[in-house]
Amino acid sequence: MQTLRAIILAIAASNISLYQLDIAIGRLEGGISPDMLVFPRPVLQYIQSHPICLTSLCLSVSPRNRIRPNGELVGDLLGFITLFPGLQRLSIEFNYRDEREHFPVISQKLRLPGLRFLGIGAVRCTEDELVTLLLSHKDSLEEVSFALVDIISEGGSWQSLLATMRDNLSIRVMTMDDCLSADKDIYYRESESDDAAYLKSFEISGLRQDWTDAINGITIGRHGSRHG
């Protein structure tokens, strides 16, 4: 914890510009806890008065490794992210899948005016929560990546989410990796005559028709039944 704080403070003091900062201490139990991102007030004031020019931030978070109360974790995480107001690329992944403990608040409160790339990993959420987060960055967002994201039962659908993205955002590239719908695998059918193949990794780029084809081709299968 002290090492991380010292690094951030040194970056602020040096007044250098950084392209990317990756914060991920191991995996699973070794992931960083948001309370490790809390700075003493004098240090925080110094950093805020010496803004860090950072383009890309990747956070691998393990909420179970915590000291502070659970309700304060999202505030700790968002407070750290907003130390870098010029962020253009942000990736947040949870080492334990977030079971709607933290992501709903993140979707409501995270705001980065220049964000161009957003990556979300290992969360269970609703379509509305994803839409809220995406539309809050519609003026700048160009690329989105979902990994191990599960839209919960009665929480909307991937087809509806993709339609909203197609109609309301200017996304050049959208990728999905190992995503689920209510704990069920997602499949994709190129045409009505083709068999549906398990959608492990998928990308949509640019053209409206590509989005429409993806929306029409997605189907939901039973969890664990993968063909093709």
pLDDT at 1: 56
pLDDT at 174: 96
DSSP-assigned beta bridge partners for residue 144: 118, 174
pLDDT at 225: 44
Three-state DSSP at 73 gives helix
**Do 174 and 203 contact (CB within 8 A), yes or no?**
yes
pLDDT at 137: 98
d(CA 28, CA 126): 24
d(CA 36, CA 3): 10
Start-end of H helices in the chain: 2-14, 41-49, 73-81, 103-109, 127-135, 158-168, 208-217
d(CA 149, CA 119): 11
d(CA 62, CA 98): 9
pLDDT at 70: 55
d(CA 175, CA 212): 15
d(CA 220, CA 174): 19
User: Residue 225: what residue type?
Assistant: S
Phi, psi of 118 (to 5 degrees): -130, 125
DSSP-assigned beta bridge partners for residue 65: none
Contacts of 17 (CB under 8 A, 6+ apart): 53, 54, 55
pLDDT at 31: 63
Tell me the mean pLDDT per 10 residues along the chain, length 228.
77 82 61 76 85 90 63 82 92 89 93 97 97 98 97 94 96 95 90 72 88 91 48
**Do 50 and 8 contact (CB within 8 A), yes or no?**
no
Distance of CA 62 to the CA centre of its chain: 14
pLDDT tens digits along 183-212:
999 998 876 656 677 888 889 987 899 999
pLDDT at 96: 82
- Residue count of the chain, please give it: 228
